[in-house]
Amino acid sequence: MTYLHKILILQFAILIGPFAIGSTAYALDLEPYKKTCSEIGFKAGTEKHGDCVLKLHARANKTEKVQQKVKADTAQQKRLEKQQQEILASQRRIEQLNRERVAASQKLADKAKTQRRLDGLEKFFNGLAKIGGGSPAPSYGSNNQSSSGFLKSQRVSGFNRICTYSAVGGDKTLTVRSTEICPLQY
């Protein structure tokens, strides 16, 4: 045998090798089915025995595919449940933040109301002092309150959020991006 013949045989073996190994592995996979069909009563090597083996193999493959689908569906269900729990937690946090915002707005409203009363008292006492010729009443609050206010309402319009504030001089508005939260004070 020449060197060239040996190389050709080696190349042929390399090319056929994976197919030979694969068919052996496939034949080994069918052994349990062959055994089951023989136990049922089919004679090995007959056409009916072969049909039995193929049917059992097809049924096993179908069962395996169903089990894989069930496993994939279960994993998807768990992912969806986790996402739903995360969404619910986010919603609860948003509700809590809204309650805190409303409470803070109420405190600011009460503070502004008290400041208006103090400003009114200051004007009243100053008017009395002018009538009576005395000195003006002491100042009870800051005069910069007229430039600030507390959040009264908000609404979304397109890509903007319109924030409305109650201020001493009247309502004021502030426009921010719709993804932003209105500041509690303006």
What's residue 125's pLDDT?
80
Q: How far is CA 73 from the centre of its chain?
A: 19
Query: For the segment 101-111, what is each residue's pLDDT rounded down to a tens digit?
Result: 999 989 988 98
pLDDT of the chain, 186 residues: tens digit per residue:
665 555 656 565 555 555 554 444 444 578 888 889 899 898 888 888 888 888 888 888 888 888 999 899 999 999 999 999 999 999 999 999 999 999 998 998 898 888 888 888 888 887 777 776 655 555 444 444 445 788 999 999 999 999 999 988 889 999 999 899 999 888
| Beta-carbon-side half-sphere exposure of residue 171 (alpha carbons within 13 Å) | 8
What's residue 185's pLDDT?
87
Burial of 182 (0-12, 13-18, 19+ CB in 10 A): buried
71-to-63, 80, 137, 164 alpha-carbon distances in Å:
12, 14, 80, 52
Strand order in the sheet with 170-177: 149-157, 160-167, 170-177
pTM score, whole prediction? 0.37
In the chain, % of residues over pLDDT 70: 76
What's residue 92's pLDDT?
92
Termini Cα distance of the chain: 99
**Rounded distance between C-alpha atoms, residue 151 and residue 168, angstroms:** 13
**Domain spans in the chain, listed from the N-terminal domain onward:** 3-81, 146-186
Q: How far is CA 54 from the centre of its chain?
A: 47
Query: For the segment 23-36, what is each residue's pLDDT rounded down to a tens digit?
Result: 444 445 788 888 89
